Amino acid sequence: MYPMRTKLMVLFIILLSITIIGLEYFKHLLLPDLTLMQSHLITLCLLIVILSVITSTVHSFVRKLNSQIIKKQGEKSKLETALCNSEERYRAVFENSADPVILLDADTLENVDFNAKSCDLLAYAHHEFEGMKIVDYEAEPMADARKRFERILKSGNMEAFESRFRKKTGEFLDVALTIKLLTIENRKYFLLTWQDIRERKKLQARSIEQFDFLNTLIETIPAPVFYKDRQGKYTGCNKSFEEFLGVSKNEIIGKSVHDIAPMDIAEEYFRRDEELFRNPGQPQVYEWKVKTRKLGLRQVVFSKATFNDYKGNVSGLIGVILDITDLKSAETELKKSRDALAEHNRILVEWTSPDILYRPDLEYIIRKITETVSRIMGVERVGIWLYNTDSTRLYCMDLFDLAGHSHDSELVVADHPSYFAALRKERVIVCRNALSDPRYKELQEAYVKPFHVGALLDVPVIVSGEIIGVICIEHRDEPRDWTMEEQNFAISLANLFSLALEISRHKQLERSLQASRDNFINIVEKLPCSVLIVDMRNKVKFVNSGSEKFFGGKIMDMLGSEFPYPVIAGKTTEAELARADGKPARVSIIAVQTRWDNEPACLVTIQEKSHNGE
């Protein structure tokens, strides 16, 4: 019950015995003559003194010892209380932890302790999970697991990694595992804290898929795409951006606009970027320039917008570049074409006016065409050439150049077969380079080289389906690309010239026809017999003065009226007519096929027969 007191009592008895023996020895040694009574009295007195001293010393020691024992018992009680509270807190934290926790024996790798969360996630009952080893539910190979724990045991460092746990049902869990080495009462343990990361894995997979999709999308966009951080440093770009600038992605990432662009251009980039960062959420579109290595300075349209981080703060910007250099050039060319077309139309409208197109002076029209084409197209030489009657030679009707007008040249068709074959085959001969064009190979020495002809635009002149000549437009000294507007204008000029020739020929035919008609009327009017022109509808179109003896002074009233007798071309009929004096007359009506006013008609002659039938 009191082991300390028992030990003290035994010690006291031993000391007392030794003391008595010692006293008796020294008494006999020092006082051998004492009587027995005296000896006992002296022994008793000494013993009393010694016992008093010993008793006092022992009592003092015991009091001190009791005081220390009581103090230590109090401290022990407090420690036991604190340990109990600590264990309760540990258990509360252990059991209520949001994460599963397992305590493993470092030697056997058996479950020493675990919280309910571990059992729930692995679908084990508490008694089933107790005593299991980690190799029973971790899907990793046993050898790998043991090496890992041996490494942690040796280094003492905490390790975190991903692994797979196997549930009681056989289903596998992807887990994030943290292992820490603990020492409890001189024994080593592994503390395992883990999380089910299946959902996180799915989110990561979806994030990776989305990232791959966006990256693929950006890479496949044919337009240059770039993105920068909030400090204006490039963080990425697509392949089109690399190819457009002529630099690699490694030369771009981490650089600012001042690192990759000339100062004057970079300053505008920087100003626009800062403006966008000050007004996030609003797309920014503007035109500016980009200096590229391969293509030089390009006109572009920037389309940019900011993007945010997960906290909603502006994280950077993304931009797309649209190269409009060709579009701008096309707009310029289109304006030139539009202006040229307007000028061409104005000229064509002017030339279709009766004052020019119906002008009897064909030479004036030819000279006006050559002069105007030279001015509008900016060429040094323009010529109009016409075939002779048998189409064996081509004569220059007018050649306008810087020296003025001339018309003393000719080409023999047989000497230039390639050119005249192309002239017959093609609606317009578009020659960019006269020195290398095979259609002009026979003309090189005699025409192309002496007159320094660089390019030609030749348009056949067609009248009534036949080629009667050509308008030749010549650009000197260097090749030239003829625009479609210029080709169409040249064709329109050739058509107008063809129309002018048709009109001129038509007027000449009209004049010839009128002269023939006048001669016919002069001859017919002098005939004594009656002569009429009757059309296919039997309407009288002409009647001579010799018809007065049959029709009297009413012959002019007959024009446009129906002829009262049948008329059959190529046949002679007889009829009886009343003369103007009222006497009957036997006549022969002779009809011959002819044309009048460019329409089919019959020439009708009425001859009076004599009494004997002649």
Assess contact for 459 and 431: CB atoms under 8 A.
Answer: no
86 within a domain of the structure (yes/no): no
Looking at the DSSP bridge assignments, the partners of residue 164 are: 174
Q: Are residues 578 and 596 in the same domain?
A: yes
> Highest mean pLDDT: which of 19-23, 242-246, 500-504, 537-541?
242-246
pLDDT at 577 over 60: yes
Q: Is residue 418 part of a domain?
A: yes
Average pLDDT over residues 415-423: 86
Residues 352 and 446 in one domain: yes
Q: Is the pLDDT of residue 358 over 70?
A: no
Neighbours of 147 (CB within 10 A): 11
Residue that wins the pLDDT comparison between 516 and 318: 318
86: confidence class by pLDDT, cuts 50, 70, 90:
low
For residue 479, being part of any structural domain is answered with yes
Neighbours of 446 (CB within 10 A): 12
Q: Mean of the pLDDT values across residues 328-346?
A: 77
Contact 457, 405 (CB under 8 A): no
Burial of 332 (0-12, 13-18, 19+ CB in 10 A): exposed
pLDDT at 99 over 80: yes
Q: Would residue 535 count as lying in a domain?
A: yes
What's the pLDDT band for 380 if we cut at 50, 70, 90?
confident
Q: For residue 1, what pLDDT band results from cuts at 50, 70 and 90?
A: very low
Q: How far is 103 from 112, CA to CA, in rounded Å?
A: 5
Residue 445: inside a domain, yes or no? yes
Which long-range contacts does 345-353 make (Cβ < 8 Å, 24+ apart)?
347/372, 347/376, 348/489, 348/492, 348/493, 348/496, 351/496, 352/496
Tell me, what's the pLDDT at 236? 92
Are residues 105 and 69 located together in one domain of the fold? no
Distances (CA, A) of 442 to 16, 390, 447, 453, 534: 157, 22, 9, 14, 59
For residue 178, which of 166, 191, 187 has the smallest C-alpha distance? Answer: 191
- End of a domain among 264, 294, 323? 323
34 neighbors 23 (Cβ within 8 angstroms): no
Is pLDDT larger for residue 178 or for residue 357?
A: 178
pLDDT at residue 62 greater than cutoff 70: yes
What is the domain extent for residue 49?
3-79
Q: Are residues 318 and 343 in the same domain?
A: no
Per-residue pLDDT of 134-188, as tens digits, reads 888 888 888 888 888 889 888 888 999 889 999 988 899 899 999 999 888 888 9
Mean pLDDT calculated for residue range 514-520: 75
- Which of 256, 291, 323 is where one domain is finished? 323
Q: How many whole angstroms separate alpha carbon 339 and alpha carbon 332? A: 10
Say if residue 288's pLDDT is above 90: yes
Residues 289 and 347 in one domain: no
Q: Are residues 382 and 502 in the same domain?
A: yes
3-state DSSP assignment of residue 449: coil
Phi, psi torsion values for 87, nearest 5 degrees: -65, -35
Higher pLDDT, 150 or 596: 150
Q: Whole-prediction pTM value?
A: 0.47
Q: How confident is the model at residue 254 (pLDDT cuts 50, 70, 90)?
A: very high
Q: Point out the least confidently predicted range of 304-318, 546-560, 564-578.
A: 546-560
- Shared-domain flag, residues 440 and 497: yes
- Over residues 548-557, the pLDDT tens digits come to 666 666 666 7
Q: Are residues 343 and 473 in the same domain?
A: yes
Q: Is residue 214 part of a domain?
A: no
Q: In the structure encoding, which two tokens stand for residue 31, read together?
A: 């006082």
pLDDT band at residue 361 using 50, 70 and 90 as cut-offs:
low
Report CA-CA distances (Å) from 275 to 226, 283, 479: 18, 11, 49
- Per-residue confidence band for 290, with pLDDT thresholds at 50, 70 and 90: very high
d(CA 563, CA 542): 11
Does residue 206 sit within a domain? Answer: no
What does the pLDDT average to over 104-133? 87
Quick check: 504 and 360 in contact, CB under 8 A? yes
pLDDT above 80 for 308: yes
In contact, 560 and 581? CB cutoff 8 Å: no
CATH number of the domain that residue 135 is part of: 3.30.450.20
Residue predicted with more confidence, 342 or 440: 440
Considering the domain architecture, whether residues 338 and 456 belong to the same structural domain is answered as yes
In this prediction, residue 255 carries a pLDDT of: 93
pLDDT(335) > 50: yes
Of 26-35, 424-433, 477-486, the one with minimum mean pLDDT is 26-35
> 310 and 392, same structural domain?
no
Give whichever of 382-386, 503-507, 532-536, 585-589 has the largest mean pLDDT.
382-386
Instruction: Quick: pLDDT tens for 425-449.
Output: 888 888 899 888 889 888 888 888 8
Q: Over 80: is that where the pLDDT of 583 sits? A: no
Quote the mean pLDDT of the chain: 82
Domains: count for the chain = 5
Residues 318 and 337 placed together within one structural domain of the fold? no
Is residue 239 domain-resident?
yes
Same domain? 57 vs 102: no
Q: How far apart are CA 529 and CA 607, in angstroms?
A: 6
> What contacts 337, CB < 8 A, 6 or more positions away?
483, 485
Question: Contacts for 514-520 with beta carbons within 8 Å, 24 or more apart?
Answer: none
Q: What is the pLDDT of residue 215?
A: 86
